[in-house]
Amino acid sequence: MISAERRRVILLMVNRDGAASLRALADAVDSSEVTVRRDLKRLHDEGLLSRTRGGAVAVQEFHREPSFLEKTRVAEAEKRAIAARAASLVSDGDAVLIGAGTTTMAVARELQRRKGLSVVTNSLLVAQILAEGTGVEVTMTGGLLRSSTLALVGSAAEQSLATIHAGRLFLSGNGLSADRGLSTPNATVASMDRALAAAAAEVVVLADHTKVGVNALVQTVPPAGIARVITDARVSREQIAALQQAGIDVDVVDP
């Protein structure tokens, strides 16, 4: 593939998905990661995308949160595999927190038929999925309803977590990197996610390959606050090693 065509494919892929890892881009254009790095530098210098440590992000993604519909169409198989691994960490009778997002919705589907499970969530969609089962007790936070994601946020939502403590939180976001941890374009969402993290003994971040190596505008949970990351096999070895060096356990699933 000639260089101009290669860069065109790279740009299309990044703009379509919002972000892409170096490994995924190299596979897509059948080139080495060294070659793709050069392409990313040129596209970055031209202002067409933004390079990250392990890939690239569409230029608008730093300041714009993708719509819920956009999120549901990205890495669907990977999200299902990540959710299945996350659910395997939960036993009947556990108490867990689940944040808002398309991947956490997939976790809710996996937990739907569990017995004696207590779940606290700020997501109406997660609660609705869990309510279809008979063995899960669902507690919702209060707060202001964010119509774009049907999630509860704001000071009332955060205060409702003050007396809550659960063994594990399953949380997602728009970006995950070894230096900044989890991040999102929205400050209100970030504040709510921090409140959820404070209510859990352990934070498990669910991040498919399109999110790893991406730094969104607002940090939510720093690397030191993340116990485990569950991601997919399209994340590069370098990115996995960087997360591990930051003290995070990394589980890699293959859809």
pTM of the complete model: 0.75
pLDDT at 109: 96
Task: Write out pLDDT tens, residues 49-77.
Answer: 888 878 888 875 544 455 554 555 557 88
What is the average pLDDT score of the chain?
A: 90
In this prediction, residues 182-202 reach a mean pLDDT of: 95
Taking residues 172-197, report their average pLDDT.
94
pLDDT digits (tens, 9 = 90+) for 72-98: 555 788 999 999 999 999 999 999 999
**Residue 98, beta-bridge partner list:** 121, 170
For the chain, the farthest-separated pair of C-alpha atoms sits apart, in whole angstroms, at 59
Secondary structure in 3-state letters for the chain: CCHHHHHHHHHHHHHHHCEEEHHHHHHHHCCCHHHHHHHHHHHHHCCCEEEECCEEEEHHHHCCCCCHHHHHCCCHHHHHHHHHHHHCCCCCCCEEEECCCHHHHHHHHHHCCCCCEEEEECEHHHHHHHHCCCCEEEEECCCEEECCCCEEECHHHHHCCCCCCECEEEECCCEEECCCEEEECCHHHHHHHHHHHHCECCEEEECCCCCECCCCCEEEECHHHCCEEEEECCCCHHHHHHHHHCCCEEEEECC
Whether 120 shows a pLDDT value over 70: the answer reads yes
Pairing, β 151-153 against β 144-146 = antiparallel
Q: Residue 206 above 60 pLDDT?
A: yes
pLDDT band for position 228 (50/70/90)?
Answer: very high
Q: Please tell me the least confidently modeled range out of 15-24, 109-118, 191-200.
A: 15-24
Residue 252's CB is within 10 A of a number of other CB atoms, namely: 16
List residues bridging with 168 in a β-sheet.
96
Q: Is the per-residue pLDDT at 113 higher than 70? A: yes
**What's the rounded mean pLDDT across residues 164-185?**
95
* % of the chain with per-residue pLDDT over 90: 66
Please report the domains of the chain, with CATH numbers, ordered by start residue: 3-62 (1.10.10.10), 68-253 (3.40.50.1360)
| pLDDT, tens digit (0-9, with 9 covering 90-100), for 164-173 | 999 999 999 9
